[in-house]
């Protein structure tokens, strides 16, 4: 139960029929001329189009062996059309155009999203993925009709039991959890410390803020969107999408905004967590059987301690707390850092400011991505709106390409001897990325020198590069400064070489306290143990989700669950939520008061994760990255594939936990 002086009223969270909509959603009539159809197909991503058409038209000739995308290994740049030959592409276009003209004239065939019909298409698009990968791929396709929807209701499993959950955080992970708990009819309340839901997509409003991972895959499997306008959409689009999911599923009323969790304590006797919340300066207490911590790792700014910070008289702020009241037009602006945020800010403001000083400690690796700022081609959008299932297949296609992602290219080969790269593939990734830099920098050899990293690619976040960053740095009013910062003065930044750079505004794009999981919440578990005392040097959890001694606490995006090079945070969140919901089902079915992951299970997995992380670029000797925690141990990355993580989190395994029954 969630108890407070006033009993909370939970809205009827049975989801809106629009949300649990029919599989294909609403599509527009296929009404174009032959030429318009042909033109649209010329702009289409072919493998998912053929897959979608083969299913609706029940036509295997659209997915014949010779049209199968070979999907070569993903290194720096994605290969167009999954590497299909020009000949295969031409044949695919002719077949798809013909099929669409037939469909326009005679109507679609069987629109039932039948898994048997989809299997050959799935095999086609994934180049014969092994059978044990198919269940996950079907789930990501949303088959059959939102398969991750809990197939049970609390009211059926344990009608008389008070069982509730608290969700900390209203970002993409928290909302995924809220969505599924609603479907299962589990009472919950969410607390969000910001004044609005949306997580990083609410907090970050800096100029140029946009996605840096393919957009169609960066959406919930239960809420696919067919009209993302860009390959990597802008912040506002993603924020609107989140709002849309929240409104349609009626989740807003389940959240308390501007409510920051201060502390939480588990009571073994009752099996309840007591959670203290601060809102408007007042503290209130709530109790629930389980806590889902979906706090996110990218919301506590890391601002370096630099001498003289208090002396600077101009405006200073962190990238995630952009001061829109400060007009930077015509000003002298410093951006400290060249990570993912700075990479987007710099090109967006370079033209506007009088002068821009970019302080770089370590250059980022940049992946050539010509589509980075581009709109989705109009013909492609036209088809996405009209071909039933195409958007789902396109999402699946991006998911599939990202599921292994660049993981093969960050594996350390102990026999590979190179001052920078860690394997032959890593070296190829390095060379391809460098070629992109050289192309964009042209005759600015000074920039090439400064922007060439001396650490293996994949060690930190890789940037999406269409040349805009280098172009911005090439401008006469922009200065890339690689001397370390010595101190701030009243009027600017002094570097270690003694130079003084006069500025009006300083933006710290210096990242977040990403490896300080769940901070600053005080979390007290069994035997009064304080979680952050255990985690002072190194944070560990089982699958990033459960922590021995802290029963009924579930973390989304916890230690070593990050797919830093393969997949995205939404996919991970959905897997974890699935696992949590499965655990709740077990608890309700079996009158379980608490579940506490066993130490041996936790330690065994962590030993493997640590050993394998040492064989990844981010764990290699001599490498430093924000993926590592205080001790230098990689705290963020999951070193295996998405499929491995999905398999591990597919279901709750009671034998891995110490289980306490209600009447024990
Ligand atoms: P970040 O990637 O951690 O980058 C921080 C930058 O600040 C690095 O270049 C770092 O240099 C530099 N820095 C730190 N302390 C410094 C100091 N004392 N002097 C000079 N430079 C200093 O942080 P972020 O750019 O905010 O991005 C964090 C994460 O957020 C990303 O990796 C990504 O996961 C996410 N993100 C996503 C998107 C997106 O999807 N669109 C956009 C932005 C961010 P070192 O490398 O030397 O430490």
- Let me know whether 235 and 360 are in one domain: no
- Let me know whether 602 and 656 are in one domain: yes
**DSSP letters spanning 556-620:** SS-TT-B-SSSS-HHHHHHHHHHHHHHHHHHHHHTTEEEEEE-HHHHHHHHHHHHHHHTTBGGGS
Nearest-atom number in ligand 1 for the CA of 210 is: 41
Q: Is the CB of 319 under 6 A from ligand 1?
A: yes
pLDDT at 640 over 90: yes
Higher pLDDT, 97 or 107: 97
* pLDDT tens-digit series, residues 367-381: 999 999 999 999 999
Is 426 inside a domain boundary? Answer: no
The pLDDT assigned to 664 comes to: 65
The pLDDT assigned to 11 comes to: 27
CATH number (domain holding residue 498): 3.50.50.60
Report the separation in Å between the CA atom of 342 and the middle of ligand 1, taken as the mean of its atom positions: 7
Q: Is the CB of 335 under 6 A from ligand 1?
A: no
φ, ψ of residue 450 in degrees (nearest 5) = -70, -30
Q: Is the CB of 461 under 6 A from ligand 1?
A: yes
What is the number of other CB atoms lying within 10 angstroms of the CB of residue 519?
A: 16
Report the separation in Å between the CA atom of 419 and the middle of ligand 1, taken as the mean of its atom positions: 24
Q: Is the CB of 222 under 6 A from ligand 1?
A: no
Query: What share of the chain has pLDDT > 90, as a percent?
Result: 87
Is 423 inside a domain boundary? Answer: no
* pLDDT tens-digit series, residues 543-557: 999 999 999 999 999
Nearest-atom number in ligand 1 for the CA of 511 is: 23
The pLDDT assigned to 16 comes to: 38
- Let me know whether 474 and 335 are in one domain: yes
pLDDT at 14 over 60: no
- Let me know whether 479 and 551 are in one domain: no
Q: Is the CB of 540 under 6 A from ligand 1?
A: no
Report the separation in Å between the CA atom of 189 and the middle of ligand 1, taken as the mean of its atom positions: 32
Contact between 463 and 469 (Cβ < 8 Å): yes
Burial class (CB within 10 angstroms; exposed 0-12, middle 13-18, buried 19+) of 329: exposed
> Which residue's CA is minimally distant from atom 19 of ligand 1?
361
Give the residue-averaged pLDDT of 60-87. Answer: 94
* pLDDT tens-digit series, residues 622-632: 888 999 998 99
Contact between 167 and 230 (Cβ < 8 Å): no
> Which residue's CA is minimally distant from atom 10 of ligand 1?
337
Is 383 inside a domain boundary? Answer: yes
Q: Is the CB of 210 under 6 A from ligand 1?
A: yes
Q: How confident is the model at residue 13 (pLDDT cuts 50, 70, 90)?
A: very low
What is the best residue among 316, 340, 495, 570 to mutate for testing ligand 1's pocket, by most ligand atoms within 8 Å of CB?
340
Report the separation in Å between the CA atom of 336 and the middle of ligand 1, taken as the mean of its atom positions: 9
Contact between 85 and 139 (Cβ < 8 Å): no
Give the residue-averaged pLDDT of 424-448. Answer: 97
In sequence order, the β-bridge partners of residue 595 are: 659
| E strand or H helix at 355 | strand 355-359
In three-state secondary structure terms, 375 is strand
Contact between 292 and 2 (Cβ < 8 Å): no
The pLDDT assigned to 69 comes to: 97
In three-state secondary structure terms, 329 is coil
Report the separation in Å between the CA atom of 510 and the middle of ligand 1, taken as the mean of its atom positions: 5
Give the residue-averaged pLDDT of 235-258. Answer: 96
- Let me know whether 205 and 319 are in one domain: no
> Which residue's CA is minimally distant from atom 17 of ligand 1?
304
Is 596 inside a domain boundary? Answer: yes
Report the separation in Å between the CA atom of 343 and the middle of ligand 1, taken as the mean of its atom positions: 9
- Let me know whether 472 and 607 are in one domain: no
Which letter does DSSP use for residue 321 in this model?
G
- Tell me how many domains the chain contains: 3
pLDDT at 10 over 50: no
From 132-136, 328-332, 489-493, the region with the lowest mean pLDDT: 132-136
- Let me know whether 532 and 567 are in one domain: yes
Sheet architecture: strand order including 500-502? 485-488, 492-495, 500-502
In three-state secondary structure terms, 479 is strand
The pLDDT assigned to 25 comes to: 72
Is 410 inside a domain boundary? Answer: no
In three-state secondary structure terms, 647 is helix
Contact between 260 and 282 (Cβ < 8 Å): no
Q: How many C-alpha atoms does 195 have within 13 Å on its Cβ side? A: 1
Which letter does DSSP use for residue 101 in this model?
H
The pLDDT assigned to 192 comes to: 98
What is the best residue among 219, 302, 342, 361 to mutate for testing ligand 1's pocket, by most ligand atoms within 8 Å of CB?
361
Last residue of a domain, one of 460, 493, 508: 508
- Let me know whether 187 and 67 are in one domain: no
Residue 492's domain spans which residues?
315-365+432-508
Q: Is the CB of 341 under 6 A from ligand 1?
A: yes
The pLDDT assigned to 22 comes to: 58
- Among 90, 402, 79, residue whose Cα is nearest residue 219: 402
Q: Is 344 left (phi over 0), alpha (psi -120 to 50) or beta?
A: alpha
In three-state secondary structure terms, 276 is strand
Nearest-atom number in ligand 1 for the CA of 564 is: 34
- Let me know whether 185 and 287 are in one domain: yes
Give the residue-averaged pLDDT of 500-507. Answer: 98
Q: How confident is the model at residue 114 (pLDDT cuts 50, 70, 90)?
A: low
Report the separation in Å between the CA atom of 444 and the middle of ligand 1, taken as the mean of its atom positions: 24
- Let me know whether 28 and 58 are in one domain: yes
Contact between 224 and 385 (Cβ < 8 Å): no
Q: Is the CB of 334 under 6 A from ligand 1?
A: no
- Let me know whether 275 and 196 are in one domain: yes
Q: Is the CB of 359 under 6 A from ligand 1?
A: yes
Q: How confident is the model at residue 17 (pLDDT cuts 50, 70, 90)?
A: very low
Give the residue-averaged pLDDT of 359-373. Answer: 96
What is the best residue among 339, 487, 570 to mutate for testing ligand 1's pocket, by most ligand atoms within 8 Å of CB?
339
Q: Is the CB of 224 under 6 A from ligand 1?
A: no
Report the separation in Å between the CA atom of 340 and the middle of ligand 1, taken as the mean of its atom positions: 5
When the pLDDT of each residue in the chain is averaged and rounded to a whole number, the result is 93
Q: Is the CB of 285 under 6 A from ligand 1?
A: no
The pLDDT assigned to 633 comes to: 95
Interatomic CA distance for residues 205 and 341, integer angstroms? 11
- Let me know whether 81 and 64 are in one domain: yes
Interatomic CA distance for residues 536 and 531, integer angstroms? 9
Could you give the residue ranges of the DSSP H alpha helices within 410-530?
A: 424-441, 445-451, 468-474
- Among 95, 108, 86, residue whose Cα is nearest residue 50: 95
> Which residue's CA is minimally distant from atom 4 of ligand 1?
339
Q: How confident is the model at residue 106 (pLDDT cuts 50, 70, 90)?
A: very high
Interatomic CA distance for residues 390 and 49, integer angstroms? 6
In sign, the C-alpha dihedral spanning 425, 431, 432, 433 is positive
Nearest-atom number in ligand 1 for the CA of 342 is: 25
The pLDDT assigned to 147 comes to: 84
Last residue of a domain, one of 508, 531, 558: 508
What length does the chain have? 664
pTM listed for this prediction: 0.94
Is 579 inside a domain boundary? Answer: yes
The pLDDT assigned to 536 comes to: 94
Is 564 inside a domain boundary? Answer: yes
Give the residue-averaged pLDDT of 453-468. Answer: 96
Report the separation in Å between the CA atom of 435 and the middle of ligand 1, taken as the mean of its atom positions: 23
Q: How confident is the model at residue 12 (pLDDT cuts 50, 70, 90)?
A: very low
Is 157 inside a domain boundary? Answer: no
Last residue of a domain, one of 404, 421, 456: 404
The pLDDT assigned to 144 comes to: 66
């Amino acid at each position: 139960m969630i108890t407070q002086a006033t009993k909370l009223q939970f809205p009827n969270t049975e989801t809106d029929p629009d949300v649990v909509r029919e599989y294909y959603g609403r599509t527009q009539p296929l009404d174009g001329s032959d030429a318009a159809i042909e033109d649209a197909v010329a702009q289409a991503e072919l493998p998912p189009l053929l897959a979608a058409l083969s299913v609706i038209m029940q036509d295997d000739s659209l997915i014949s062996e010779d049209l199968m995308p070979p999907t070569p290994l993903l290194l720096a740049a994605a290969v167009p059309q999954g590497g299909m030959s020009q000949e295969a592409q031409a044949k695919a276009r002719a077949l798809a155009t013909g099929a669409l003209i037939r469909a326009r004239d005679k109507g679609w065939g069987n629109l039932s999203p039948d898994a048997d019909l989809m299997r050959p298409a799935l095999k086609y698009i994934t180049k014969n993925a092994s059978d044990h990968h198919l269940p996950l791929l079907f789930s990501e396709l949303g088959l059959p009709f939102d398969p991750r929807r809990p197939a049970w209701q609390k009211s059926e499993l344990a009608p008389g039991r008070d069982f509730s959950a608290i969700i900390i955080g209203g970002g993409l992970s928290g909302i995924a959890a809220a969505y599924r708990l609603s479907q299962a009819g589990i009472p919950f309340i969410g607390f969000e410390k910001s004044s609005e839901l949306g997580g990083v997509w609410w907090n970050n409003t800096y100029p140029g803020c946009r996605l840096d991972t393919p957009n169609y895959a960066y959406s919930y499997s239960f809420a696919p969107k067919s009209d993302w306008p860009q390959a990597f959409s802008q912040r506002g689009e993603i924020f609107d999408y989140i709002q849309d999911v929240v409104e349609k599923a009626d989740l807003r009323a389940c959240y308390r905004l501007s409510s920051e969790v201060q502390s939480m304590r588990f009571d073994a006797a009752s099996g309840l967590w007591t959670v203290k919340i601060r809102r408007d300066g007042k503290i209130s207490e709530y109790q629930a059987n389980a806590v889902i911590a979906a706090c996110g790792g990218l919301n506590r700014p890391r601002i370096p301690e630099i001498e003289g910070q208090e002396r600077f008289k101009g405006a200073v702020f962190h990238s995630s707390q952009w001061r829109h009241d400060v007009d930077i037009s015509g000003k002298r602006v410093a951006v400290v850092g060249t990570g993912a945020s700075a990479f987007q800010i710099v090109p967006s403001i370079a033209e506007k400011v009088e002068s821009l000083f970019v302080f770089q400690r370590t250059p980022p690796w940049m992946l050539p991505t010509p589509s980075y700022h581009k709109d989705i081609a109009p013909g492609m959008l036209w088809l996405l709106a009209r071909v039933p299932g195409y958007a789902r297949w396109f999402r699946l296609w991006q998911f599939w390409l990202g599921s292994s992602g660049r993981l093969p290219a960050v594996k350390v080969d102990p026999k590979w001897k190179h001052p920078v790269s860690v394997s032959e593939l890593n070296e190829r990734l390095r060379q391809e990325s460098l070629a992109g830099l050289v192309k964009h920098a042209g005759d600015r050899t000074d920039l090439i020198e400064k922007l060439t990293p001396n650490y293996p690619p994949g060690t930190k976040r890789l940037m999406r590069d269409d040349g805009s960053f280098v172009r911005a740095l090439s401008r006469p009013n922009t200065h890339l400064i690689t001397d370390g910062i010595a101190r701030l003065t009243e009027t600017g930044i002094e570097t270690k070489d003694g130079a003084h750079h006069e500025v009006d505004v300083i933006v710290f794009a210096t990242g977040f306290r990403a490896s300080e999981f769940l901070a600053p919440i005080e979390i007290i578990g069994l035997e009064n143990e304080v979680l952050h005392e255990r985690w002072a040097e190194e944070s560990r959890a089982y699958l990033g989700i459960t922590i021995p001694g802290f029963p009924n606490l579930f973390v989304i995006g916890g230690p070593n669950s990050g797919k830093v090079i393969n997949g995205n945070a939404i996919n991970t969140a959905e897997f974890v939520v699935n696992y949590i919901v499965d655990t709740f089902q077990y608890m309700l079915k079996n009158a379980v008061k608490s579940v506490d992951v066993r130490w041996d299970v936790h330690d065994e997995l962590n030993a493997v994760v640590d050993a394998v992380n040492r064989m990844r670029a981010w764990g290699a000797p001599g490498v430093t990255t924000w993926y590592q925690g205080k001790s230098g141990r990689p705290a963020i990355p999951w070193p295996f594939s998405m499929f491995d993580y999905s398999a591990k989190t597919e279901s709750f395994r009671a034998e891995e936990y110490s289980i306490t029954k209600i009447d024990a």
